[in-house]
Structures are given as structure tokens and as C-alpha cells.
Amino acid sequence: MNKKYIGITIGPIVKTLMLTTTPAGLWGASYIFSYFTKNLIDQLEQILGISKESFLVPVRNNEVETIIKDCPWAGLFHDRIIFQTDPSIPLTKIDQCIKKCKEDLSKEILTICLTENEDIERAKKFIEDYLQVHVIEKEVEKGKNPILALSPNLDILELGQSYIPKEDKNYLLDFLENRDSLEQKKPENRNQNIKRFTQKIEKTQQLMKWHFLEEEHIITIDDIAGVSGNKIGVNTQTKNYFALVNADGDNLGKVLKSMEDTQGNQVIEEIKGFSEKCFDYARRAFEKVEKYGGKMIYAGGDDLLFIAPVKNHEETIFHLLSTLNDEFINCFFGFSFKEEGQEKKMGFSAGVMICYYKYPLKEALISVLDQLDKSKKIKTKNTISVHFEKHSGKQHGIQFINFFNNCENNKIYTMFLDLLEEYGKQNGQLNNSKDFLRSLGTKLQDYRNVFLIAMVKDGAAKRNYLNEVFKNLFEEYPGIFDETKTKEEKSEEANYIERIVDLLEEIFYMKLSLIQDKTEKTKRQAALDSLQEIETVIGLLKFYNEKEIK
């Protein structure tokens, strides 16, 4: 027997994120949608009598309510609501609930930011028209997954966004970033409206303090990066940089498809179990990011967006990504799908943008969304794509493909973390060898064609060609690849070169494994890509090693 489901999509989130120029503004641009979603669910329950058991996305139970109370500022409610409905409830009733929630939100926003001289009805209409909320109703066959049945229609509705024909003033922008404070040359007050909004919620719902507040100060990019102090415990160039990260789970559709069964007895409970795990993961991720010194913008579903220092004491943003991956795997370990006769798990992909603290936040957001998209386009997904831009304008990029493999971080990422721990700190093994770090990268560029020839040579001894090239180019550091000497007998420079070459080989072999038609041209391109990525690794090690420029 078919059952009737309602699907609701709420937006426009990305468009609103693009309005802001501060971390707190970015958070506010996301949170108002999570806040709206939560209030709409409450309205559906209270006014229409929709039971908690009817909700699939997000699931409603005591465990989830505890997570919401413990983690109120994470933006836990994402942009979709799906629930089973009584056939007697018409869509017009749903629309009435949506209309009321729009009115309530616009009133809350405008009470804070509207001046006495402004037309409140005009401002309310602007915000209500700005919020894009679409509803569909569909019958779903027993045993089928309602999320998969409704999502294609919701995706289409999201694309058909309406627009405001005459926009004299963007009242939502004024709420997110108080323009009066900028005109008065008081940029520190630009997020005061959001602060007042959160304080009102804190008071009425008895919640913990907003995580962007430190005493009465709203945390800025300078605070997060460590520019204005030394709370992050570093004295290197990294204090002038921040990382913006967008992470997302892979193969969600395949996992949801695997829940379907002909009898229809398990699919609904499995969906609810998965939705609960999404809340659990969001809470864990929020806590890990906070502990590291970052600030979560949103953590809804399996999707994260946060801003963080590139280094905090002995940890780096790359260690944090490894930690978040571990939490992801622990939360979703019980969910899998069959592909080519094998059981497979969900993967973890992310885009990372590392940039100077004065870099425009909007541009960083565009870049990080692009990096996540690059990760998702890799056939295996499960990839971390990093874009690193120095204040000088020099840019680097690297992808860690198959980031998580066989229940552990893949070999390439592990080797990179080991290098970072040993050579990417001022008191590390190459503390007085900044020039050496620079010279290695320079020689890779100057002798690129020589390295390319060595890497693409056929035969079992091809590794030896590359070894010989490095030995000849760095003959001032004896012992490189000398198997008769121990690590302790070699210079630190020789040990470092060996580890860089090992990592270069691993990257190259990985790229070769992804090529179906191995020709001289494709192998050369794989070698070139590998050299560029190892140059990025060296650049990152040098970046983490450099002292702060006063």
C-alpha cells in the first residue's frame, strides 16, 4: 500500500552566505535557515498535529532533542524536511504554516535591525519573498525510500528560485552586517544585530552562550587565525592565515538506496537511524572544531562548513581533518551498500582553502565550494582537495585521493602528516634549514624535465632512475639512498630528501593506478601532476616552518 509524504526545501542558503564578509555573518546567514526549519517543524507538530514519529528528515526523538539542547548553535537543521502525512491534510495547510513561520522570522529580524523611519510592511515583504520555501506531495510505494523518491523533485524546485523585482534595500544584509557601523568606521559592531538575535534566543530557550562570543567580543577572522594574539600557541607565518573547510559525506544516495526492501519493514527505521547518526556526527564535529580553535558555520546532515586556524599549538588543520574523518567513520560505520559484489562504506570528502587573513571571505567561500566539487568529481570520491594561496599571490594545490582506505588514513596522507610533524615546525629537524627547504622546491622546478624522464621510464628499476637524479643533484648531502648507512648516520637533509622521494613515488603510483589507457603522454601527465603536488607539500612544510614576519 502506498503512503503519502510531504517534502519541503528551504533556501537560498549559498546565495545568503555570499552576502557576508565576516565569520559571524557567515554563521548568521546559515543559522537563520536552520532556525526557520526547526520552527517550521514545531508549527507542523503543534498546528497540524503531525506526530514526531512521522518525521524522517530530520528524525524527531529524545536522543536528537538532547543533541539539539547540548549543541544549539551548530545549525543542525539542514534545508530539507520529509515526513509522512495524513491524506486528509491539504497542502494549503502546510503553506499556512510556512507563511506563519516566514512572518515570525521576519518580525524577529526586523525588530532588531529596522529603524523607526523605515516601512515595516515593505521590509517584511522583502524577507518573506526572499525566503524560498517549496513543498511537494507524493505517494511512495511500500519498501521504497521516500528520500530518494522526493529528492529529485525538490532539487528541481530549488533551481526555480523566484527573485525580488525591485530591491531598494536588502534588509537581510542589514541584519547580517550592520552597514551603519561601517559608515561610522566601527567595523567591530557590524555583527551586533546577530549578537542581539542570539541573546534573545538564549534567554527565551535557556541555551548556552553563542559560540562566537568571547565575553562580549564577537570573534573575528583575526581572532581565529591568531593575528591579534598568541592563543593558538604559534610564532610562525601561520598566524596570518586561516582555513575554510567544507566537508561532506560520499555515496549517500547509494546508502539510502540500499535501505529499500520489498517487504518495506525496515526502510523507515533505517532512515530514522541514519538521520539520528547525522545529528550525532554534527555534534561530535562541532566539539572537535571548537576544541581545535575553529568556529563551526553549520553542521547539518553529513555536511560541515567551518573556519579554523591553520595551526593550533602542535596540531594543524590537516590533523583536524583526520580527526573529523575518524568521527565520520565511527558514526556511519553501520551503513553500507553493495557495489560490484563488494560491501562498501560511505566516504569523507572535503574542500580546503588556506589563505591570508585579509583575503575576502566571499572569495574564500567560492574557492572552498569549488574545492569540494573537485573532490566529488574524482571517480572514487573520498578525496581532500586543498588550495593554498600565499599573501604574495603564489598558489598551490593538492588532492589526497582515497583519503580514507581500509579503515585507516591512506598511506599518502599518513606520510604527509608524518613529514608535517617532523619538519613543519620551528623546533623540528630542519629548524635552521629554511634555505634548504626552499632550494629543494627550486630544484624540482628547475630540473622538472629531468625528473619527468626519470619517473616515466619503464622497467622494474624505474625507482632507481629517480633516486640517481636526486643523488646527483644533492651530492652535497652524502648518504642519500645509501642502504649501508642507518638513518642516524645520515644527515637530516639526506633523510628528508629520501622521505620526499618516497612520497613523490607514492603519489605518482596512485595517479598511474587511476589511468586506464597508460600511454607515454598520460604517464608523463601523471608525473607532472605528481611533481606539482610534491612542490605543494614542500611549500606547506616551508610555510609551517617559517617564522612570523613582523
Instruction: Quote the CA–CA distance of 185 and 188 in Å, as a whole number.
Output: 9
Whether 502 shows a pLDDT value over 70: the answer reads yes
204 or 194, greater pLDDT: 194
Residue 117: pLDDT band (50, 70, 90) is confident
Convert the pLDDT of each residue in 58-71 to its tens digit. 999 999 999 999 99
Convert the pLDDT of each residue in 9-56 to its tens digit. 999 999 999 999 999 999 999 999 999 999 999 999 999 999 999 999
Convert the pLDDT of each residue in 232-251 to its tens digit. 555 567 888 999 999 999 99
Instruction: Quote the CA–CA distance of 498 and 504 in Å, as a whole number.
Output: 10
The pLDDT score that the predictor gives to residue 456 is 86
Beta carbons of 192 and 178 less than 8 angstroms apart: yes
Residue 409: pLDDT band (50, 70, 90) is low
The pLDDT score that the predictor gives to residue 440 is 84
Average pLDDT over residues 501-511: 91
Percent of the chain exceeding pLDDT 90 equals 60
Convert the pLDDT of each residue in 282-297 to its tens digit. 999 999 999 999 999 9
Instruction: Quote the CA–CA distance of 351 and 365 in Å, as a whole number.
Output: 10
Q: DSSP class of residue 240?
A: G
Beta carbons of 375 and 295 less than 8 angstroms apart: no
Beta carbons of 276 and 61 less than 8 angstroms apart: yes
Angle (nearest 5°) at CA 297 between 292 and 298: 105
3-state SS class at 141: coil
Percent of the chain exceeding pLDDT 70 equals 90
Whether 513 shows a pLDDT value over 80: the answer reads yes
The pLDDT score that the predictor gives to residue 406 is 53
Beta carbons of 196 and 112 less than 8 angstroms apart: yes
Beta carbons of 280 and 67 less than 8 angstroms apart: yes
357-362 long-range CB contacts below 8 Å, 24 or more apart? 357/221, 357/222, 357/225, 357/227, 357/240, 357/241, 357/242, 358/391, 359/389, 360/21, 361/20, 361/21, 361/22, 361/23, 361/26, 361/221, 361/244, 362/18, 362/20, 362/21
Average pLDDT over residues 405-411: 62
3-state SS class at 242: strand
The pLDDT score that the predictor gives to residue 234 is 58
Whether 265 shows a pLDDT value over 50: the answer reads yes
463-467 long-range CB contacts below 8 Å, 24 or more apart? 463/505, 466/501, 466/504, 466/505, 467/501
For CATH 3.30.70.270, list the domain ranges present in the chain: 220-409
| E strands present in 3-100 | 3-11, 55-57, 80-84
Of 48, 123, 124, 57, nearest to 86 by C-alpha is 48
Cell numbers standing for residue 543: 610555510
Cell numbers standing for residue 394: 603564489
Residue 460: pLDDT band (50, 70, 90) is very low
Instruction: Give strand pairing partners of 308.
Output: 243
3-state SS class at 207: coil
Whether 494 shows a pLDDT value over 50: the answer reads yes
113 or 308, greater pLDDT: 308
Instruction: Quote the CA–CA distance of 189 and 25 in Å, as a whole number.
Output: 11
Residue 169 phi/psi, 5° resolution?
-150, 135
CATH of domain 1-196: 3.30.70
Choosing among 3.30.70.270, 2.40.50.180, 3.40.50.2300, 3.90.1150.10, the CATH entry for 220-409 is 3.30.70.270
Instruction: Give strand pairing partners of 218.
Output: 213
CA distances from 152 to 3, 138, 348 (A): 18, 12, 23
In which region does residue 509 sit, left (phi positive, over 0), alpha (psi from -120 to 50) or beta (all else)?
alpha
Of 221, 222, 230, 198, nearest to 211 by C-alpha is 198
Q: Provide the angle, in degrees to the nearest 10, between the axes of the packed helices 462-473 and 492-513.
A: 150
Pairing outcome for strands 303-309 and 241-249: antiparallel
Q: DSSP class of residue 26?
A: H
The pLDDT score that the predictor gives to residue 163 is 73
Average pLDDT, the chain: 88
Beta carbons of 123 and 172 less than 8 angstroms apart: no
Any idea which of 300-304, 436-440, 479-483 has the lowest mean pLDDT?
436-440
The pLDDT score that the predictor gives to residue 341 is 84
Residue 379: pLDDT band (50, 70, 90) is confident
Whether 459 shows a pLDDT value over 80: the answer reads no
Whether 272 shows a pLDDT value over 60: the answer reads yes
Exposure on the CB side of residue 422, measured as CA atoms within 13 A: 14
Cell numbers standing for residue 64: 536528537
Give, for 137, the enclosing helix (H) or strand (E). Answer: strand 132-140
3-state SS class at 347: coil
Beta carbons of 455 and 530 less than 8 angstroms apart: yes
Instruction: Quote the CA–CA distance of 378 and 381 in Å, as a whole number.
Output: 5
437 or 529, greater pLDDT: 529
